[in-house]
């Protein structure tokens, strides 16, 4: 067996004779990183030690270590630092750089089904990558390897539950506040007074992070918003920063920032770094982070704190995505219907992917039929789209040499919110009420003009979503451009132009801009774009 670790941007690999580690974690509220983490993990010697560690560890990490005849690998809930592997001549080769494996062993065969899946979901599913016979360690998965064979593959964290909390509302509220407070205290303890950089949108998640930093008197905070100059995000973001007395800037995505990006070696390197032949390289914050770094607006050791996936904890997918009376038999169909939406699937491909999803559900938990169906759906989503698309987007930060933290994905918060009854997750009523009444109003950052969508609004939107595929292309394009607050159109227009110049086939439904990015990335990965 051979282990080759190459990526040291943002977070570095730390090691000793038997251990490789990247990231950070908490054990019993004590923060570990770098050499301190390696020293702590050095006491792990056996399979039972390894499994006990995974029960208690709380953080963002990848670790590999060996005893006399076994190798243990684990990747955290966010899959922030994925490991890839391939079997060649009965030997196992592992690396954090999938292109190293590809080039070393001339692994140039792209899997046709994985390509379709990638275009439909913006990522591959399960352990698959775009390459035949190259695989990935998944979010919250561990592997135990002996004699170049994987003898055990399992998951150490699940969001699926058998039973909701029976606590009354007042008790739930107190527990939620306690979980938020404990999480933020841990998070702030990890910062070491370094500059915190918040991509501050007009929404609740990033605003909550800003408020909590203010509450705990953290001084070194820098906020930014980006996109079109008429973006609806700007007003609330700016007002929040002003109310909290934090520095704030707006970065307009104009021609000065984006012109010529596609031809630069930096962007091409980023596309490989972020995509890893398994996820769509997100463009959204690439230009903003690049701008901040090039103009020396933030310190080199700054830490980025995005509000990733906080709304999911609150229940944002209920009604919009997850029906109230979901059955176990309908989970696979719902995943195909709601998560494979970026590219049209043939009937035969739908059947194939449905079989694969069912197999993956069983691999994640062969007793999933004993769990609440909506929680099984969310657990699958956490391990797939949320990890491989949402959290993978943090490559914006690491590519440019910065660390990040994900406050909402603290294990204590996950463990609490997964048990909150569905009735309290509908319309995000419980989550939003706590943020508004316990935090936002106290710091004058709840703006009366803010309207959360009603159930009627959501039902109307669902009808619109069903109608949209049948609308003429020019009308769909108008919808797309109207809601393009990030200014993706000029970015993807440049990709389209490049694809057309290279006489490459493009399938365009005008449903969302990601359909262009995924197709560009596939051709780029095959060296078909000159």
DSSP of 292-308, one letter per residue? HHHTT-S-TT-EE---T
**3-class state of residue 361 by DSSP:** helix
Domain end position, chosen among 101, 127, 155: 155
pLDDT at 511: 75
Q: Which regions of 5-110 does DSSP assign to beta strands (E)?
A: 14-15, 19-27, 30-33, 58-66, 70-75, 84-88, 91-95
Is 47 part of any domain?
yes
pLDDT at 173: 98
Is 212 part of any domain?
yes
CATH number for the domain including 34? Answer: 3.60.20.10
pLDDT at 480: 74
Neighbours of 247 (CB within 10 A): 13
The verdict on 53 and 144 lying in the same domain is yes
Residues of the chain with pLDDT under 70: 449, 451-476, 479, 510
Determine the structural domain holding residue 127 and report its residue range.
Answer: 3-155
The verdict on 103 and 192 lying in the same domain is no
pLDDT at 462: 60
The verdict on 41 and 75 lying in the same domain is yes
pLDDT, tens digit (0-9, with 9 covering 90-100), for 144-160: 999 999 999 999 999 99
pLDDT at 530: 82
Is 353 part of any domain?
no
Is 491 part of any domain?
no
Give, for 155, the enclosing helix (H) or strand (E). strand 149-155
pLDDT, tens digit (0-9, with 9 covering 90-100), for 96-142: 999 999 999 999 999 999 999 999 999 999 999 999 999 999 999 99
The verdict on 48 and 187 lying in the same domain is no
The verdict on 134 and 185 lying in the same domain is no
Is 417 part of any domain?
yes
Is 272 part of any domain?
yes
pLDDT, tens digit (0-9, with 9 covering 90-100), for 149-206: 999 999 999 999 999 999 999 999 999 999 999 999 999 999 999 999 999 999 999 9
Angle at which helices 347-364 and 373-381 pack, to 10 degrees?
100
CA distances from 8 to 96, 194, 399 (A): 10, 20, 9
CA-to-CA distance for 24 and 60, rounded, in angstroms? 6
The verdict on 280 and 418 lying in the same domain is yes
pLDDT at 458: 65
The verdict on 121 and 191 lying in the same domain is no
CATH number for the domain including 186? Answer: 3.40.50.620
Per the structure, the count of domains in the chain is 2
Domain end position, chosen among 423, 451, 479: 451
CA-to-CA distance for 394 and 82, rounded, in angstroms? 13
The verdict on 250 and 142 lying in the same domain is no
The verdict on 240 and 204 lying in the same domain is yes
Write a three-state SS string for 462-474: HHHHHHHHHCCHH
pLDDT at 479: 67
Is 330 part of any domain?
no
Is 296 part of any domain?
yes
pLDDT at 332: 99
Domain end position, chosen among 416, 433, 451: 451
């Amino acid at each position: 067996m051979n282990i080759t670790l190459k990526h040291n941007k943002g977070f570095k690999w730390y090691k000793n004779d038997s251990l490789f580690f990247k990231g950070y974690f908490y054990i019993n509220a004590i923060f570990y990183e770098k050499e301190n983490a390696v020293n702590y993990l050095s006491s792990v010697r056996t399979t039972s030690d390894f499994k006990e560690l995974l029960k208690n560890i709380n953080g963002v990490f990848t670790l590999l270590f060996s005893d006399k005849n076994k190798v243990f690998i684990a990747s955290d809930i966010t899959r922030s630092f994925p490991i890839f592997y391939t079997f060649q001549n009965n030997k196992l080769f592992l690396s954090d750089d999938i292109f190293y494996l590809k080039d070393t062993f001339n692994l140039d065969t792209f899997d046709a089904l994985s390509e379709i899946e990638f275009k439909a979901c913006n990522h591959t599913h399960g352990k698959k990558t775009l390459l035949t016979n190259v695989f990935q360690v998944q979010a919250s998965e561990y592997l135990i390897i002996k004699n170049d064979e994987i003898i055990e593959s399992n998951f150490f964290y699940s969001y699926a539950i058998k039973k909701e909390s029976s606590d009354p509302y007042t008790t739930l509220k107190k527990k939620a506040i306690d979980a938020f407070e404990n999480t933020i205290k841990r998070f702030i303890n990890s910062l070491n007074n370094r500059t915190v950089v918040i991509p501050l949108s007009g929404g609740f998640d990033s605003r909550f992070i800003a408020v909590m930093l203010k509450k705990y008197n953290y001084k070194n905070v820098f906020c930014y918003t980006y996109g079109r100059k008429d973006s609806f995000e700007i007003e609330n973001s700016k007002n929040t920063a002003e109310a909290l007395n934090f520095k704030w800037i707006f970065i307009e995505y104009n021609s000065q920032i984006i012109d010529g990006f596609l031809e630069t070696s930096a962007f091409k390197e980023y596309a490989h770094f972020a995509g890893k032949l398994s996820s769509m390289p997100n463009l959204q914050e690439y230009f903003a982070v690049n701008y901040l770094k090039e103009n020396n607006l933030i310190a080199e050791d700054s830490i980025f704190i995005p509000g990733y996936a906080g709304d999911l904890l609150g229940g944002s997918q209920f009604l919009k995505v997850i029906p109230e009376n979901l059955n176990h038999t309908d989970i696979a169909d719902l995943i195909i219907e709601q998560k494979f939406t970026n590219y049209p699937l043939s009937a035969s491909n739908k059947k194939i992917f449905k079989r694969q999803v069912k197999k993956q559900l069983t691999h994640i938990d062969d007793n999933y039929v004993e769990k609440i169906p909506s929680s099984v759906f969310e657990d699958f989503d956490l391990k797939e789209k949320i990890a491989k698309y949402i959290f993978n987007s943090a490559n914006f930060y690491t590519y440019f040499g910065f660390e990040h933290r994900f406050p909402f994905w603290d294990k204590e918060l996950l463990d609490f919110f997964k048990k909150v009854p569905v009735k309290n997750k509908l319309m995000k009523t419980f989550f939003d009420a706590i943020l508004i009444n316990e935090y936002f109003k106290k710091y004058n950052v709840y703006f009366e003009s803010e309207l959360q969508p009603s159930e009627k609004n959501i039902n109307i939107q669902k009808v619109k979503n069903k109608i949209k595929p049948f609308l003429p292309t020019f009308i769909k394009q108008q919808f797309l451009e109207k809601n393009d607050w990030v200014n993706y159109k000029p970015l993807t227009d440049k990709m389209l132009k490049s694809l057309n110049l290279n006489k490459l086939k493009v399938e365009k439904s005008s449903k969302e801009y990601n359909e262009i990015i995924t197709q560009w990335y596939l051709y780029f990965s095959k060296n078909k774009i000159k």
